[in-house]
């Protein structure tokens, strides 16, 4: 009897194991190929053939060693090595797995030498894994390769020099081939010539008033690549470049006290003369760099900080004369940081010149001077012909009025709600009034739900985020909710 029970238990367990194996989803197997042989100090590109027809886009961001959801594992002697992964400087955004939107970048291959700067010859094992978002927004394995052998050898110095010289002398011009092949390949080397090329590439810039062009992406990639080089080496070459060419906007984004405090005074000295450059990109970079380095964390002497502040305050007229929109954006942030007495009249000067208008008006609200409220209201009530809905310009100023002035802004928000002809300006004013439990704000939302204009769903989502209890409410329930709020709301005194 006991034996029969044991056999029955073993049979049931085996059925469960088989059933579990049958229910486990099979992970599609990707095929990868590697250079054979590969050499220390030279690029190692992994080619991927996907069973799911998925295409890898490299780079995924302006950070060279960021592969995002495409993972590479490397083992030596049975031990997993730690990858040198980078993160995008501005955080994640855009399509899953990352995509820069630049034509002709690398497809279905990854420069694994940027995550694994292998310095020792030998035999390694390499595996590729691609993850994708599934279920509750988690990255899960979508495909995976088998482990593939990588034979790494020591290259004769003449081979590396021949390769490096050829690469440097035959660089493509277009951003796509540079990002997708030439620059990541050259980053297998830490040669000073490669470092100088990366620094030079940070001076690429977009035309005036154009953001996110391929040149800007290229400059950002080159600037982020400097983190792969030895810090002292970077500081030496950086000072040389800035003394000869001035700063670049992309370089300024990478500055931090840990790596650059020691040379901050020298950077300032080389940058101040560039404030009056005839090249708008140089002026933008100079304003950006100086406004950053005045931060106390860089430890600059007080007289140097005073030099920076005087230079930037007197820069307003030059930037206006040059009609330098990009420089004005950085200048507005600086002017807000120096306080109402010095910065406020200069911010109004920028706004009146229609340079960095939204940024300047937003910065004025940060100063919280009540005497600015009537003037700000008069501006945002005017219809912007270039932005009929008010989504891209005046709406953010209205939002900052409520955030920074609080109840002082209440009568002005009511005026904006009553007078503006731009839907999103009125909507933002109404949102601020709802935050204050003002009846006018609730009435606006009630009209939106009843009349169903094109922005109805966006407004309903905003209400649902503020009041989770109505997240699944239909129109009838929303109307009842809004009417109940109106009954207890306050009105203008």
Res 1 pLDDT > 50: no
Residue 113's domain is classified under what CATH number? Answer: 2.60.40
Quick one: average pLDDT of 211-222? Answer: 87
Provide DSSP, 419-441: H---HHHHHHHHHHHHHTTBHHH
Res 228 pLDDT > 70: yes
Place of tokens 């194996």: 21
What is the tens place of the pLDDT at every residue in 458-490? 999 999 999 999 988 899 999 999 999 999 988
The answer to whether 38 and 44 have CB atoms below 8 angstroms apart is: yes
Res 128 pLDDT > 50: yes
Domain count along the chain: 2
Question: Which distant-in-sequence residues (6+ apart) come within 8 Å of 38 by Cβ?
Answer: 44, 150, 151, 152, 153
CA dist., res. 212 & res. 364, Å (int): 27
Could you tell me if residue 216 is inside a domain? no
Give residue 47's domain range: 29-158
Question: Which distant-in-sequence residues (6+ apart) come within 8 Å of 331 by Cβ?
Answer: 287, 291, 312, 315, 316, 319, 350, 356
Domain boundary among 143, 158, 173: 158
Could you tell me if residue 139 is inside a domain? yes
Question: Which distant-in-sequence residues (6+ apart) come within 8 Å of 191 by Cβ?
Answer: 164
Quick one: average pLDDT of 269-292? Answer: 96
Q: What is the pLDDT of residue 206?
A: 76
Q: What is the pLDDT of residue 95?
A: 63
Alpha-carbon distances of 285 from 249, 290, 326, 398, 448, rounded to whole Å: 4, 8, 9, 30, 45
Q: How many CA atoms lie within 13 A of 257 on its CB side?
A: 7
Q: What is the pLDDT of residue 278?
A: 95
Each residue of 250-272: b (16+ CB within 10 Å) or e? bbbbbbeeebbbebbeebbebbb
What is the tens place of the pLDDT at every residue in 142-167? 999 999 999 999 999 999 999 999 99
Domain boundary among 129, 158, 187: 158
Q: What is the pLDDT of residue 137?
A: 67
Could you tell me if residue 57 is inside a domain? yes
Could you tell me if residue 400 is inside a domain? yes
pLDDT band, residue 133 (cuts 50/70/90): confident
Could you tell me if residue 385 is inside a domain? yes
What is the tens place of the pLDDT at every residue in 330-358? 999 999 999 999 999 999 999 999 999 99
Place of tokens 């010539």: 193
pLDDT band, residue 6 (cuts 50/70/90): very low
The answer to whether 324 and 208 have CB atoms below 8 angstroms apart is: yes
CA dist., res. 356 & res. 350, Å (int): 7
What is the tens place of the pLDDT at every residue in 15-35? 454 444 445 568 999 999 999
Could you tell me if residue 345 is inside a domain? no
Here the tokens at position 326 are 């990009």
Alpha-carbon distances of 171 from 9, 56, 177, 201, rounded to whole Å: 69, 23, 9, 12
What is the tens place of the pLDDT at every residue in 32-75? 999 999 999 999 999 999 998 888 889 999 999 999 989 999 99
Task: Name the pTM for this structure.
Answer: 0.85
Could you tell me if residue 337 is inside a domain? no
Helix (H, G, I), strand (E, B) or coil at 97: coil
Could you tell me if residue 222 is inside a domain? no
Place of tokens 């000072």: 239
Quick one: average pLDDT of 253-260? Answer: 93
Domain boundary among 158, 193, 214: 158
């Amino acid at each position: 009897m006991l034996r029969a029970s044991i056999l029955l238990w073993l049979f049931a367990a085996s059925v469960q194991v088989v059933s579990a194996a049958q229910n486990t989803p099979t992970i599609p197997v990707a095929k990868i190929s590697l250079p054979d042989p590969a050499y220390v100090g030279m690029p190692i590109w992994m080619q991927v053939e996907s069973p799911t027809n998925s295409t890898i886009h490299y780079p995924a961001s302006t950070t060279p060693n960021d592969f995002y959801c495409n993972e590479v594992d490397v083992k030596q002697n049975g031990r997993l090595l730690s990858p040198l992964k980078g993160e995008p400087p501005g955080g994640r955004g855009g399509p899953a797995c990352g995509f820069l939107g630049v034509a002709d970048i690398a497809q279905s291959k990854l420069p694994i030498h940027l995550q694994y700067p292998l310095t020792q010859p030998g035999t390694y094992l390499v595996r590729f894994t691609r993850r994708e978002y599934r279920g509750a927004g988690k990255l899960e394995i979508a495909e995976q390769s088998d482990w593939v052998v990588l034979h790494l050898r020591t290259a004769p110095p003449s081979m590396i020099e021949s390769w490096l010289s050829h690469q440097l002398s035959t660089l493509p011009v277009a951003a796509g081939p540079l990002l997708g092949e030439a620059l990541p390949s050259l980053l297998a080397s830490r040669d000073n010539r490669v470092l100088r090329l990366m620094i030079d590439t940070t001076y690429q810039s977009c035309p005036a008033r154009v953001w996110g062009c391929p040149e800007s992406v290229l400059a950002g990639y080159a600037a982020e690549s400097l983190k792969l080089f030895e810090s002292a080496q970077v500081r030496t070459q950086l000072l040389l470049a800035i003394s000869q060419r001035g700063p670049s906007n992309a370089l300024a984004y990478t500055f931090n006290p840990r790596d650059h405090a020691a040379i901050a005074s020298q950077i300032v000295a080389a940058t101040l003369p560039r404030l009056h450059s005839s090249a708008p990109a140089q002026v933008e970079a100079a304003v950006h760099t100086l406004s950053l380095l005045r931060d106390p964390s860089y430890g600059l002497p007080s007289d140097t900080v005073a030099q920076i502040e005087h230079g930037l305050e007197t820069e307003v007229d030059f930037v206006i004369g040059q009609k330098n929109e990009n420089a004005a954006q950085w200048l507005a942030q600086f002017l807000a940081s120096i306080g109402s007495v010095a910065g406020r009249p200069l911010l109004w000067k920028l706004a009146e010149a229609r340079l960095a208008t939204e940024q300047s008006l937003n910065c004025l609200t940060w100063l919280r001077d009540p005497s600015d409220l009537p003037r700000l209201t008069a501006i945002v009530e005017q219809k912007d012909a270039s932005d009929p809905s008010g989504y891209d310009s005046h709406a953010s100023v209205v939002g900052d009025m409520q955030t920074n002035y609080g109840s002082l802004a209440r009568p002005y928000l009511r005026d904006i709600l009553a007078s503006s002809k731009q839907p999103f300006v009125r909507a933002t004013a109404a949102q601020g009034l709802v935050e204050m439990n003002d009846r006018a704000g609730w009435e606006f939302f009630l009209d939106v739900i009843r009349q169903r204009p094109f922005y109805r769903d966006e407004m309903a989502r905003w209400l649902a985020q503020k009041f989770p209890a109505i997240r699944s409410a239909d129109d009838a329930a929303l109307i009842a909710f809004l009417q109940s709020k109106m009954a207890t709301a306050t009105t203008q005194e």
